[in-house]
């Protein structure tokens, strides 16, 4: 999967000074590269016991929904506060400076369901960790967290202790 790295653009000082942002939009704009990523995820998860796929706002929606479609699984939205229109459950988590909250509809996960959590990038693991906790709070089990990109130096895996972690590309 190292060849996928050529479709991930470095954007210095975004969203703030000192951050080197990994931009996946070139990957999305190249149909063969995007298909290759989804094909790798399909190969990994087609025979795993998964009931639903959850995608983290917003780029996790892109990869998660495509994978859910390919595997004939339902798709769950994990969103920031105020974006879901119906009854919700929430999880607040710590950021470097402050807190954030994610939400899911209260009927998104049923007790005993096995959930695959998908996002584009694993950095510090805060959002993915909160999503795993939220799924657990609803009675589900996260069988694995799947990412296109992992920034290993930020040690995000450490916040995902209760789930397996898979990433296609590592920096």
Catalytic residue positions, numbered = 59, 96
The encoded tokens of residue 117 equal 């959590």
In angstroms, the CA 1 to CA 169 distance is: 6
Look at the block and give the residue holding tokens 């983290």.
56
Which burial class, exposed, middle or buried, applies to 17 when counting CB atoms under 10 A from its CB (0-12, 13-18, 19+)? exposed
């Amino acid at each position: 999967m190292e060849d996928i790295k050529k479709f991930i653009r470095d954007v210095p000082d975004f969203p703030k000074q000192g951050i080197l942002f990994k931009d996946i939009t070139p990957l999305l704009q190249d149909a063969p590269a995007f298909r290759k990523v989804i094909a790798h995820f399909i190969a990994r998860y087609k025979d795993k016991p998964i009931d639903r796929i959850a995608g983290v706002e917003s780029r996790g929606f892109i990869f998660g929904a495509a994978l859910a479609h390919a595997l004939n699984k339902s798709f769950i939205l994990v969103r920031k506060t105020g974006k879901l229109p119906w009854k919700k459950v929430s999880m607040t988590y710590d950021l470097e400076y402050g807190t954030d909250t994610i939400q899911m509809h209260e009927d998104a996960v049923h007790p005993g369901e096995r959930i695959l959590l998908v996002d584009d990038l694993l950095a510090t693991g805060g959002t993915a960790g909160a999503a795993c906790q939220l799924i657990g709070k609803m009675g589900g089990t996260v069988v694995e967290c799947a990412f296109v990109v992992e920034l290993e130096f930020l040690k995000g895996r450490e916040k995902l202790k209760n789930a397996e972690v898979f990433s296609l590309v590592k920096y």
